[in-house]
Structure formats: structure tokens, C-alpha cells
Structure 1
Amino acid sequence: MTRSDPPPPPPPPVAFYAPMKAPDHPVPSGDRQIARGLMAALGAAGFAPRVACRFRAWEGRGDPVRQARLRRAGLWLADRLADSLARLPPERRPRLWFTYHLYHKAPDWLGPRVSARLGIPYAVAEASRALKQKHGPWADGFAEADAALTRADRVFAMTARGACGVAPVAGDRLVRLAPFLSDPGLIDPATVDRPAARAALAAAHGLDPGRRWLVTVAMMRPGDKLASFRLLAEALRRVGEGPPWTLLIAGDGAARAEVEAAFAGLPVVRLGALDPPALRDLYGAGDLFVWPGLNEGYGMVYIEAQAHGLPVVACDSGGVADVVRDGDGGRLVPDATPDGVAGAVVAVLADDALRVDQGVRARRKAAAEHGLERAADTLGAALGPLLPA
């Protein structure tokens, strides 16, 4: 840029909202991680995302009184927020509203109303639509989520299942956005020194580096997570002859006691909740990532593991097939059974050449299909034309 060149225009502000859980919510979760990732991808695409509101619209009990109260509060907030944003200087006023993860239990009472008041485009990512909820305790939330999808100028779906669900409402405004890795603590796996990471883990936890190290990373909570842990424990009990192994589990939560009971008697080391740098070293030190992933949206941990060259064994459940391909970075078990998972683990552990090859394929696949740059390109190409020149 020469002295006569005008300065580049500032990135267009984007109002970001997550009715399920705000990106800066204090409780870690996959939902929070994806919200943060979307903000990072929007920034990489040339936008300036800012959290517009932290109002949580989620109601999980099917209580009509509470739902009505949340609706009134949401609409009231929408009007106040629209008034406040309209008073901002033009350069700070949002030029687009972006809502992440709306569905019948967490409808978006803010985005459609605020964007209409401001006359700006409205975009939605990771909406889910279950027709069985059209009539029932969350019928009003389902109708509002459908109304938001109908109003949206762009609807981003991150899984095939999600795209299929919203397609009847979104039509040609639907855009596929591949799941992507965005955590800065995990985004550069090339920095992991495998021998050093393995030696440090062995010293800290009394591990035998001569054994195969299986790795699992998951929250310990009731429901599908606990069911996945129990399925994994039963599968590992059926792993017979072969190289000796130890399972390293990273994660914690309310179901910790139940998880510990499920793995009683197995060679397991529980590492607790780990921060991104420690997770990066764990992935880099491991030999195989194993997690059934029952009803996972898709599972960010699979992308993280593959990015670090760690082959994956998972079940073809929920949206896992959107990030794990059988024979291309791991094994995707078609039947979520202990025998199916055990057979896949045995096949990979028993063949060192196969495991190394699948690790190389895993790293290549994660870099090519699930990088932040690719997500930014998708968002930029879809949202850029919506903004006036």
C-alpha cells in the first residue's frame, strides 16, 4: 500500500447469537466449542463477529409456562436490542445477524425480529428439525424454529442428517458447511513431539510405553455419553489376543462414578479434564482413538484426533459418518455393538502397517476437508453476496 492508497475498509460487523449456549458460557461443551469455531471462521472470512446477546432460550422439560415466559422475555429483548443497535454509528452497526444452533427446545426469538428491524440479512447454522416435535410439549418452539428457517437468507448445515432435516424448509438457501477444527490450542498438530509427549505421559502416570495406547476424549455425563462409555468398556472386554494396550481417558463430569464402574478391572488410566495443549500432546502420543459416539452430532474429537495422525474407531451413529470414513483414517463400525467395536480395535491394533497408514490418511483427510480456511471460504462465499456494496 502506498501513501496515496486509501486504508482498507473495516471488516463488516456481524451479530452472533447462540440461543442454546453462548460462546463464552462458563461450562465447557461441544456446543460451546462449535460456537467459538464459527466465530473464528467468520473472522477468518473477513467479518467482525460479536456476541449480540447471551439470552438462553433453552427449555428442556416441555414446560409450557416456562416456554411462554422465555418467549415474552426473548421478544422484549429483541426490541430493546434492535433499538440499541440502531443507535450505533453506521460503521459499528451489524450488517448481518448469525444464529447458531436453534431448534424446538431453543428457538431464536431474537434474530428474525432484530434483523427485520435493522434491515440486515439473517443467517442460521446447525438448526435441527425433528418432525415428531411438531405436535407435543415443544410445538410452539418447533413452529418458531421453522419460522426462523423460512425467514433466513442462508441456512448452513454441517452434517448430511442436518441438511436432510432442514432442506424442506430451507430450499435453495441451504449451504453445506463441513465440520472443522478451530481451537488454536489444537490447530497445529505438527508442533507435537511424539517421543517427548509419550515419555512425559509415561512418567506422569506410570504408563508402559511398550503398550499400545488407546485414547478416548469425552464428557462424562448421563445419556448418550454414558451409553458410549459403557459400550466401549464392554467392547474392550472382548478384545482378546493381540498387543497389550492401555486406555487413556480424558474427560470428567457428573457420570464419572458410573464410567469408572463400567471400566473396573480393565487397564484404564483416567486423566481428567485436559486443556487444549495437554489434549494435543495426548493425541500426539496415542496409537488409536476409540469412541463409539452414539448419536453424536458429528464429534469434534474425531477431527482433532485425525488431525494429529491418530486413526479412529467409531460407530456409524448420528452424524459421525460426516467426519469419519471407513478405511480412510480409521474404521467406521456399521453396527453399534460390543463385538463390532472390539473387532475393529483388534484389526487396527494387530497390524502396525495398517495403523500407520490409517494415521497418515487421517492427518491428510483432516487437513483437506476440516480446516478453518475451508470453513472460512464457505462462509465468505455464501454470506458476502448478501451484504450491500
Structure 2
Amino acid sequence: MKIAFTAPMKPLDDPQPSGDRTMGRLILRALEIGGHEVRIATRFRSWRKEGGDNALLAVKKAALEEAERIGDAWTREGYRPDLFLTYHLYHKAPDWIGPALADRFDVPYAVIEASRARKRRTGPWAVGFQGADDALKRADGIAALHNWDRDRLLPFFEETETDPAKRLRTVLPFLDLSAFGSVGNASPSTEPAEPLKLLTVGMMREGDKTASYEVLAAALSELVDRPWQLTVVGDGPNREKILSKFPQDRITWLGALSPENVIVEYPKHDLFVWPAIRESFGFVLLEAQASGLGVIAGDALGVPEIMADGTSGLLAPEGASSAFAAKLRQVLDTPALAGQFGEAAKIRMIEVHSLQAGAERLDAFLKAALDHYQHRQLDQAKDR
């Protein structure tokens, strides 16, 4: 299938690393593994930090001009995609280009990862909210990355009186596991040496990341009578505030590392710990499991769908430091659990979250979107 692709939230060649950029790149790789021919239609970025009617109407105007430019170029070239695919849209990053081109060339339109906050229907983000909603109405297929996000989209189908079963599905996130096998990773032993080596990875910015570090620090303060050492990977404006909350003789701070160097760190440790406050799902949780580490994490949003509680790690109620400490205490008191969780995590990653598994889920999603488009065409023909 010839697929035209765009990512209005962040272009895939954006120099700033992020989970959004990583997931977008992985989607392209999975599509190519599935035999699809992918073309980046545009790197136009509709995302804006601040709202306002005038500002967003200007973005919409520029986006539609870009769509016209692309359409004219495709016409001259004789190119027509089989489907237009957009990754990640919401009120701050609506997609006006994909629907316009899908209409012009009369092809299916599909979306992977759409967020919808109904409180943005009015106010400074109203134009962006409407733009995102219009894209969802046009979409022949909508994929969420986990069921928590999927459930947040159900009100859209109620409001538009349409059947979510025909267009909405969950496509779980995935990783290229070959990168983790290439670092010589050995599974943690079933009896880790004391002290247990813990690892956490997270940016040190204001908001949910700092809140996660604070929960972790509070949990570890309840475990000072147990043997553990923590390695912290990350940096940011809240570095001093965050690091001051941990006992300095029991942590090693490595600063911000490149993705390649972070991967090297995982197998040096016994257990990954991250409270995951308001975490959509967390690539670091996937990477840790791919490296053979069990995980202690917060039971937030999509996290329960990327790790099996009690099998590949343990989940604590989101934001509850004492409950997080209790889960971690279970492993500190029975260190063999770390190795057991790590082995189970690697197996689950291969079965559920590998690039090949992701390619198969994406292929099924695109075929369902194409099927919906074809049925829609038939219904429209009958109504003429």
C-alpha cells in the first residue's frame, strides 16, 4: 500500500528527542517491514504552545496552503497514495493537511494516536479542537496506543452518533528489540548481589516528571534500612531540586545520556523503578523490559498495558509513595524476584511489543480503514 504520512505534533526529523518522535519513527519502520511504501507528505508542524483564534486560524490557513501545494505537486508527478496516515493530533496539533489531501485524491484517511479534551471545545483552543474533531470525523480508521486513550475517544462517537467498532481500535506501542540484543545484554541473575541495583530514567522538568521523582524519593526514604543503590539518568531545570531529595551516598547521577548510551545502562542494573505520574505509557518502561529488567511503576494511564502486573513487575497506585515503597520492598526482601520479573519482561516484549508484532497490528489497522472507506464509498453510491 502506498501511504502518505504526516506528524503535525512533531516532524520525525525534529532535532529534539522525545517519545513522540520515537514512536513516529517506529511506526514508519513497522510500516516498511509490513511491505508498505511510505512517503513523508510534509513536515509541516501545526503544534502551538499558545492558543487563540487568530493564531490558530493563521496556522489553519498555512496548513491548507501547504495541502494545496502538495496536491499540485502530486498531480504533476502522477502520484496518488492509497491512504493518508496522520500520527498524533489533538487541539494543540490539529491536522488540516491530511483530510484536505484525502478528499482531493479521494483516498482513505487514518489517524494513529488522537487525544481529545472536551473542555477545549471553547476558549483559546476552540479552533484547534474543531480542527482535530473534523479530522476524526473524516477518518476511516482511528488507532489509540492503549485502551485508556481509546476510552477517552468514546464520547466523540457518542456525540457524532457513529459506531466505534467500525473505526476505532487499540494498537499497542512497540520497539525495535534488535538494538537491545546488540549491547550484549545478559538477563539479570536470579540472585542479584546486594545491594540491589536500581535504575530510573526521566527528564528533570517541572510537572509530572518532577512529581514522579518526588514519589520515588519519598518511597526510597521508607526503605533506608534495606540494601539498594539507585542510578539516575536525566537532566533538566529541576535537577538540583530533584537530586537533593535522595540520599547522596546511595545514588549515582549520570546526567542526560543519548538514547544509545541509555540502552547500555539498563543491563547493568537489577530493577527499573519509575512512578510514571500521568505517563501515557513510557518508552523507558518498554526499554527496561526489552533489556531484561523487571519494573516497579505507577499504575497510570497506559502503563498497565505495557507490563504485566505480578509477572514482569509490580504496579503501585499512581502517586502513592508508601504503596510504591511496599512494592519495591517485596523485591528487596526477595531479590530473586528481580530476575524472574526480568525474564518474563523479555518474553512479553518479544511476544507483544516487538517491531514485527507492531507491524502486524498496524497492517490490520490499515486494512480495516481501507475496508471502512470502501464500504463508505458503496453506501454513498447507493444514496446517489
| Superposition TM-score, scaled by structure 2 size | 0.88
What secondary structure does 1:126 align onto? strand
The 1-side partners of 2:240 and 2:11 are apart by: 29
Answer yes or no: is the 8 Å Cα contact 1:194–1:281 preserved in 2: no
Give the corresponding residue for 1:160: 147
Unaligned runs of 5+ in 1: 1-11, 196-208
2:172 paired residue among 173, 178, 181: 178
Structure 1 position 344, deviation (Å): 1.2
Give the corresponding residue for 2:273: 290
Answer yes or no: is the 8 Å Cα contact 1:86–1:118 preserved in 2: no
Answer yes or no: is the 8 Å Cα contact 1:46–1:380 preserved in 2: no
The 1-side partners of 2:178 and 2:25 are apart by: 11
2:254 paired residue among 251, 268, 271: 271
Give the corresponding residue for 2:377: none
2:264 maps to 1:281 = yes
Structure 1 position 298, deviation (Å): 0.8
Answer yes or no: is the 8 Å Cα contact 1:189–1:280 preserved in 2: no
Map 1:22-101 onto structure 2 (within 5 A).
Answer: 22-90=11-79, 93-101=80-88
The 2-side partners of 1:260 and 1:129 are apart by: 35
Distance 1:48 1:270, change over 3 A: farther
What is the count of residue pairs matched by the alignment? 362
2:200 maps to 1:216 = yes
1:146 paired residue among 133, 136, 140: 133
The 2-side partners of 1:51 and 1:127 are apart by: 19
2:221 paired residue among 224, 237, 241: 237
Answer yes or no: is the 8 Å Cα contact 1:37–1:183 preserved in 2: no
2:93 paired residue among 106, 126, 143: 106
What secondary structure does 2:49 align onto? coil
Map 1:179-218 onto structure 2 (within 5 A).
Answer: 179-182=173-176, 185-186=179-180, 188=181, 191-193=184-186, 210-218=194-202
Distance 1:371 1:57, change over 3 A: same
Give the corresponding residue for 1:312: 295
What secondary structure does 1:41 align onto? helix
The 2-side partners of 1:51 and 1:250 are apart by: 33
Structure 1 position 47, deviation (Å): 1.0
Structure 1 position 264, deviation (Å): 5.4
Distance 1:335 1:17, change over 3 A: closer
Aligned residue type for 1:238? E
Answer yes or no: is the 8 Å Cα contact 1:238–1:338 preserved in 2: no
Q: Which moved more, 1:99-108 or 1:210-219?
A: 210-219
What secondary structure does 1:24 align onto? coil
The 2-side partners of 1:27 and 1:335 are apart by: 28
The 2-side partners of 1:376 and 1:194 are apart by: 26
Q: Which moved more, 1:348-357 or 1:368-377?
A: 348-357
Aligned residue type for 2:246? F
Aligned residue type for 2:4? A
Answer yes or no: is the 8 Å Cα contact 2:203–2:209 preserved in 1: yes
Give the corresponding residue for 1:5: none
Answer yes or no: is the 8 Å Cα contact 2:142–2:168 preserved in 1: yes
Give the corresponding residue for 2:160: none
Map 1:343-362 onto structure 2 (within 5 A).
Answer: 343-362=326-345
Give the corresponding residue for 2:233: 250
The 2-side partners of 1:51 and 1:262 are apart by: 45
Give the corresponding residue for 1:201: none
The 1-side partners of 2:102 and 2:240 are apart by: 46
What secondary structure does 1:191 align onto? coil
Question: Percent same amino acid among aligned pairs?
Answer: 40
Structure 1 position 89, deviation (Å): 3.6
Structure 1 position 362, deviation (Å): 1.2
Answer yes or no: is the 8 Å Cα contact 2:296–2:328 preserved in 1: yes
Distance 1:335 1:105, change over 3 A: closer
Structure 1 position 291, deviation (Å): 0.4
Deviations 1:200-241 (A, max 9, x none): xxxxxxxxx753211111122221111111211121111132
Structure 1 position 182, deviation (Å): 2.9
For the aligned residue pairs, the C-alpha RMSD in angstroms reads: 2.3
The 2-side partners of 1:57 and 1:266 are apart by: 46
| Superposition TM-score, scaled by structure 1 size | 0.87
The 1-side partners of 2:187 and 2:347 are apart by: 18
Aligned residue type for 1:49? V
Structure 1 position 335, deviation (Å): 4.4
What secondary structure does 2:265 align onto? helix
Answer yes or no: is the 8 Å Cα contact 2:292–2:345 preserved in 1: yes
1:328 paired residue among 311, 318, 321: 311
Answer yes or no: is the 8 Å Cα contact 1:239–1:343 preserved in 2: no
Structure 1 position 163, deviation (Å): 0.7
Distance 1:87 1:253, change over 3 A: farther
Answer yes or no: is the 8 Å Cα contact 1:185–1:276 preserved in 2: no
Structure 1 position 357, deviation (Å): 1.4
2:96 maps to 1:130 = no
Answer yes or no: is the 8 Å Cα contact 2:215–2:321 preserved in 1: yes
Answer yes or no: is the 8 Å Cα contact 2:317–2:324 preserved in 1: no
1:338 paired residue among 316, 321, 329: 321
Aligned residue type for 2:53? P
Deviations 1:279-298 (A, max 9, x none): 22211111110000100111
